[in-house]
A and B are shown apart, each in its own frame.
Chain A
Amino acid sequence: MELIRPGTHFDFIGIKKITLIVSTVVILVCLGSILFHGGLKYGVDFAGGLLIQIKFSKPVSISEVRGALDVMGSKEAMVQAFGGENEFLIRIEKASEDLEEMSTKIQASLQSQFKDKPLEIRRAEVVGPKVGKDLKRKALWAVGLSLVAILIYVAIRFHEISYGLGGIISLFHDVIVVYGAISITGIEYSLNVMAVVLTIVGFSINDTIVIFDRVRENIKKMRKENLETIFNVSINETLGRTILTNGTVMVVVLVLFFFGGPVIHDFATALVVGMITGTYSTVYIASPVVLAWEKYVSKGRKRSR
């Protein structure tokens, strides 16, 4: 079966000026959102704090839960509906030394206040401030190092620094867009989400490399054509694969989104965004970067590889 008839030729690269504007706007919006919110909404994992997920066996409204917390004097607690029916998430983001006692107190108090509607503690997490800072640091290192490692790898495999640069810049773009998306949708930046960011890094470069690989091959074959045409042809030739792969992974991610449960839900949301931008950035960020570099920097150098 053929999804894309062979010989189709969309002029992808042709509209790169428009997409450059679109991308710039998107990046500005994302950065803007992050700055506006004062940085990412660090979850309990990174900022330190406590988290309690409770489920009532009888109907309870969120205001009842809030009321109960007020009664015991816990002013900083945030409550949100989470997961199934009558299930709530109580969060306190605070860098404090006695989070553990707070958590115990809240659990005990809720148990006694709701004696007639027995509640179940589904999950409880306490992250002390030192641990939170530790994790934050590690997360930054992880993301930073992957970017560097990938830059080096791509530059080596493709022999030209321009490809490595193209890959890295497109990854930066993807990371910013994903962070922007979680900032805008208010998703908590937790360890799980960090895992997503790293996965996107892997996926996006995956995508970029497939195109670059084809370009590398076509350069040898199509010596007479200019680089822009070669890129266009390569993208078109791999279009079938791009759609198929990204399509299937997208379906898989959507399955996770709907069936994976609330914890996986946030995870999947970030993945969806990441996948879209990953594919987009290959064509409209990585490729233009390579083209621009070759045009302006390696002027007069023979493309004889």
Chain B
Amino acid sequence: MLRSLKWRFILYAAITVFAILLLLPTVTSQLPLWFMKVIPTDKIHLGLDLQGGMHLILEVEAEKAIESYVERIKNNLKDDLRDRGIPAGKVEREKRDQIVLEISGEKGKWEKLLSERYSIMQELSSSEMGGGIWKVSLVLDSRQADHIKKNAIDQALETIRNRIDQFGVSEPEITLQGTDRILIQLPGIRDPQRAINLIGRTALLEFKLLDEEGDLEAALKGNIPEGDIILYQRSVDPKTGGVKKIPYLLKEKTLMTGEVLKDARVALDSQFHEPYVALEFDDVGAKLFEQITGANVKKRLAIILDDNVYSAPVIQERIAGGRAQITGRFDTKEASDLAIVLRAGALPAPVKIIEERTVGPSLGEDSIRKGIISTLISAAFIVLFMIFYYRLSGLIADVALILNVVLTLAALALFRATLTLPGIAGLVLSIGMAVDANVLIHERIKEELRLGKTIRSAIDQGYHRAFSAIIDSNLTTLIAGILLYQFGTGPVRGFAVTLSIGILANIFTAVYITRWIFDFWSLKMKVKTLSI
């Protein structure tokens, strides 16, 4: 027994010291470099409800990516059919992933075209409608569809990461959740609305020509000419704050998109010092832009972002060199954010915010303060009470309790688990439960002493008999804790984590540590009566 006393001490002391070392980074930031390399941890990670910040869950509408993909194929097909002189009555996209054509002419000719260049669309049905006209339905190959969806999600993740990187948040966390959800955590963010705007915009940049011959008035009444659409420009009067929507009649075909952007920067107008966004195209884009401007001099080109017309300047001359400007009534922040999203690229599919939890920094600080106060008051009460009721043995229990807290916090730091406000409550609760284990043991020891057993024997029996009850009751609470972790999210998980770790630490400290102290006391100190 004496020998094991020494070995056990060494083991427990080592664990305790290790735990304290793990906690040092949380308490102080002035640690020597070599220390940081040896002990693999940083401060305890605080949840958003304690540090303040924003938690977002986005859902990527990957289905829309398929829609746009099929839409593009449809447009290509239309052009191809026209180029080859194959007469086609109707070429439409139907549902999300189908194209329906009414086609006539040599069957072999269009069959060859479809199988050679459009094998990605599988033939769903084809029927002769009479008069040499065939109705053909094509559907996108499902494997390709899945591929597109997955790509869309990956790309969305990447794009959002880019945008957030440029926004400048410290320690952002952006991860994929499930198959189509993106989790974003931005700790310490001060302007959550701006972040939401930045993240949620699709940011699709398009260039379309104005239909200058068409009748805007008639179109507004419902008579939209074939191949045209109406889009609006949102104009905010800086003096009154009133919003006007100015309609534009545009040719639907998109001549160029933001895909070809190389760079976008905020610049100041030399005349009025108003901010604008300067665009720079890559080589492909520059050439394309040259073609478009060359072919449409004196016509108006609309610059559209997410179906909103930003401006529609007149093309004065063919523009080589691949530069353009987006002007509008921006303030610097708006221009800067626009530049960010253009640089990072458009989202391949729209995203929808399905969950947001934002905590302002002041609430966070408040919560930390209240959490610490609660913990200290509870701990103080329990420590004093234990001494009062169990005298010196109570002091032993107190040592165990304090060690319990230290070990729990150290485990949090080691596993990079997050401490949340409910987590602090969990910590406080596990302190309460730790009392239970100690009480069980002490009451048992008292009983044995009352029955007349010797001190050594009483301690032995006390622990022995209390053990099963302690294990059973702690394990059942642990089961609840683990299930809570599995099924909970965010702050609730924090609670489950601290409660569960607290329970495990509890079993260790209440049973093993206090046992050692009792052993040491009764063996080495040769006591006649136990102060319990």
Interface residue ranges, A against B (CB under 8 Å): 1, 3, 6, 53, 55, 97, 100, 103-104, 107-108, 120-128, 130-131, 135, 138-139, 141-142, 145-146, 149-150, 153-154, 157, 191-192, 194-195, 198-199, 201-203, 205-207, 209-210, 213-214, 217, 237-238, 240-241, 244-245, 248-249, 251-253, 255-256, 259-261, 263-264, 267-268
**Chain A positions within 8 Å of B436 at CB level:** 206, 241, 245, 249
Q: Are A264 and B353 in contact (CB under 8 A)?
A: no
Chain B residue, CB-CB nearest to A144 = B483
- Asked whether, in the complex, the Cβ of B362 is within 8 Å of the Cβ of A240, the reply is no
Min Cβ gap B306→A in Å is 15
Q: Tell me the complex Cα distance, A191–B488, Å.
A: 8
Q: Are A217 and B483 also in contact (CB < 8 A) when A195-B496, A255-B381 are?
A: no
Q: Is B193 in contact with A104, judged by CB distance below 8 angstroms?
A: yes
Which residue of A3, A154, A198, A253 is within 8 Å of B483 (Cβ)?
A: A198
Question: Do B439 and A245 touch (CB < 8 A)?
Answer: yes
**Chain B residues, Cβ within 8 Å of A130:** 59, 354
> 23 A–B contact pairs at CB < 8 A?
A1-B390, A3-B389, A97-B352, A104-B196, A122-B362, A122-B363, A125-B357, A126-B356, A142-B486, A150-B476, A150-B480, A153-B476, A153-B479, A194-B488, A195-B495, A201-B480, A203-B433, A206-B474, A244-B435, A249-B435, A251-B378, A252-B431, A256-B428
Q: How long is the Cα–Cα vector from A205 to B476 in the complex, in angstroms? A: 7
Q: Is the CB of A209 within 8 A of B353?
A: no
Look across to chain B and name the residue whose beta carbon is closest to the beta carbon of A145.
Answer: B483
Please, how many angstroms separate the alpha-carbon atoms of A241 and B446 in the complex?
A: 12
Determine the distance from Cα of A293 to Cα of B394 in the docked complex, in whole angstroms.
40
Say how far B353's CB is from chain A's closest CB, in angstroms.
4
Q: What distance in Å separates the Cβ of B363 from its nearest Cβ neighbour in chain A? A: 4
Which of A6, A238, A252, A264: most chain B Cβ within 10 A?
A: A252
Query: In the complex the two chains form, is B374's CB within 8 Å of A259's CB?
Result: yes
- Which of B378, B389, B484, B486 is in CB contact (< 8 Å) with A255? B378
Asked if A131 meets B381 with Cβ closer than 8 Å, knowing A1-B388, A121-B360, A264-B370, the reply is: no
Q: Given contacts A107-B193, A126-B355, A150-B476, are A191 and B492 in contact (CB under 8 A)?
A: yes
Q: How far is the CA of A77 from the CA of B357 in the complex (A)?
A: 18
- Assuming the contacts A241-B440, A249-B435, asked whether A100 and B378 have C-beta atoms less than 8 A apart, the reply is no
Contact of B475 (CB < 8 Å), options: A121, A153, A264: A153
Within the complex, what minimum Cβ distance (angstroms) separates B153 from chain A? 17
Q: Are B477 and A202 in contact (CB under 8 A)?
A: yes
Question: Bound state CA distance, A3 and B390, in angstroms?
Answer: 11
Give min CB distance, B487 to chain A, whole Å.
4
A255 and B377 form a contact (CB under 8 A):
yes
CA distance A120 to B366 in the complex (A): 14
Which A residues are in CB contact (< 8 Å) with B484? 142, 146, 195, 198
**Chain A, residue nearest B241 (CB):** A112
Per-position binary interface string of chain B over residues 387-429, scored 1 when its CB falls under 8 Å from any chain A CB and 0 otherwise? 0111100000000000000000000000000000110010011
- Within the assembled complex, what's the spacing in Å between the Cα atoms of A122 and B357? 11
Known: A146-B483, A259-B374. 5 other contacts (CB 8 A): A1-B391, A3-B389, A195-B496, A213-B468, A255-B377
- The answer to whether B358 and A123 have CB atoms under 8 Å apart is yes
Docked CA distance A244–B486 (Å): 32
Q: Which residue of B lies closest to A257 (CB)?
A: B374
A142 cross-chain contacts in B, Cβ below 8 A: 483-484, 486-488
Bitwise, B457-499 to A at CB < 8 A (1) or not (0) is 0000000010011001111111111011011111110011001
Given A206-B477, A264-B425, CB of A252 within 8 Å of CB of B378: yes
The residues of B with any CB-CB pair to A shorter than 8 Å are 49, 57, 59, 192-193, 196, 200, 352-360, 362-363, 366-367, 370-371, 373-374, 377-378, 381-382, 385, 388-391, 421-422, 425, 428-429, 431-433, 435-436, 439-440, 443, 447, 450, 465, 468-469, 472-481, 483-484, 486-492, 495-496, 499
Whether A260 touches B425, Cβ cut-off 8 Å, given contacts A131-B355, A209-B472, A248-B382, is yes
Task: Tell me the smallest distance from the CB of B158 to a CB of chain A, in Å.
Answer: 23
Q: Which residues of B contact A261 (CB under 8 A)?
A: 366-367, 370-371, 421
- Are A127 and B355 within 8 A (Cβ)? yes
Complex Cα spacing A252 to B432, Å: 7
Check if B382 sits within 8 Å of A252, measured CB to CB. Answer: yes
> Which residues from chain A contact B359 at a C-beta distance below 8 Å?
122-123
Known: A128-B354, A213-B472, A256-B374. Contact between A267 and B422, CB under 8 A? yes
Q: Known contacts A195-B492, A195-B495; decide if A100 and B353 are in contact (CB<8 Å).
A: yes
Given that A131-B57, A192-B491 are contacting pairs, would A263 and B367 also be in contact in the complex, using a CB cutoff of 8 Å? yes
- Residue on A nearest B54 in the bound complex, by CB: A124
Question: Is there an interface contact between B487 and A141, defined as CB atoms closer than 8 Å?
Answer: yes
Please report whether the interface of chain B is mostly helix, strand, loop or mixed according to DSSP: helix
A residues within 8 A CB of B480? 146, 150, 198-199, 201-202
- Name the distance in Å between A184's Cβ and chain B's nearest Cβ: 23
| B496, A209: Cβ atoms closer than 8 Å | no
On chain A, the residues within 8 Å of B487 by CB distance are 138-139, 141-142, 145
Contacts of A213 in B (CB 8 A): 468-469, 472
Which residues of chain A have C-beta atoms less than 8 A from B432's C-beta?
245, 248-249, 252-253
> B residues within 8 A CB of A192?
422, 491-492, 495
| Contact indicator B435/A128 (Cβ below 8 Å) | no
Q: 8 closest Cβ contacts across the A-B interface?
A: A202-B477, A128-B354, A249-B432, A142-B487, A206-B473, A202-B480, A261-B370, A126-B356
Query: CA separation between A249 and B421, bound complex, in Å?
Result: 18
Select from chain A the residue with minimum beta-carbon distance to B357: A125
Which chain B residues border A210 with CB–CB below 8 Å?
440, 469, 473
> How far does the Cβ of B468 sit from chain A's closest Cβ, in whole Å?
6
The residues of A that contact B429 with a CB separation of less than 8 Å are: 199, 249, 252-253
Contacting residues, chain B, for A264 (C-beta < 8 A):
370, 374, 421-422, 425
Judge whether B492 and A205 touch: CB under 8 Å.
no
Is B425 touching A256 in the complex (CB atoms < 8 A)?
A: yes
Q: Which residues of A contact B373 (CB under 8 A)?
A: 259
Which residue of chain B has its CB nearest to the CB of A132? B355
Known: A195-B422, A199-B429. A241 touches B488 (CB 8 A): no
Least CB distance, A181 to chain B, in whole angstroms: 18
A88 to chain B, nearest CB (A): 13
How many angstroms from the CA of A217 to the CA of B450 in the assembled complex? 18
Bound-state Cα–Cα, A168 to B192, Å: 46
With A149-B479, A252-B382, A263-B367 known as contacts, the answer to whether A120 contacts B374 (CB < 8 A) is no
B354 CB to nearest A CB, Å: 4
Contacts of B49 in A (CB 8 A): 263
Residues of B near A107 (CB, < 8 A) are 193
Q: Is the CB of A205 within 8 A of B496?
A: no
* Contact partners of B481 in chain A: CB under 8 A: 198, 202
A91 to chain B, nearest CB (A): 14
Give the distance in Å from the alpha carbon of A138 to the alpha carbon of B388 in the complex: 44
Separation of A142 and B382 alpha carbons in the complex (Å): 31
The reply to whether B431 and A259 form a contact with Cβ atoms under 8 Å apart is no
A12 and B484 CA atoms in complex are apart in Å by 34
Residue pair A240, B358 in contact (C-beta under 8 Å): no
Contacts of B377 in A (CB 8 A): 255, 259
Whether the Cβ atoms of B353 and A126 lie closer than 8 Å is yes
Separation in Å of the A222 CB from the closest CB of chain B?
15
Nearest CB on B from A278, distance (A): 11
Closest residue of chain B to A100 (Cβ to Cβ) is B353
Contact of B428 among A53, A241, A252 (CB under 8 A): A252
- Complex contacts, A131 vs chain B, CB 8 Å: 57, 354-355
Docked complex Cα distance between A257 and B89 (Å): 74
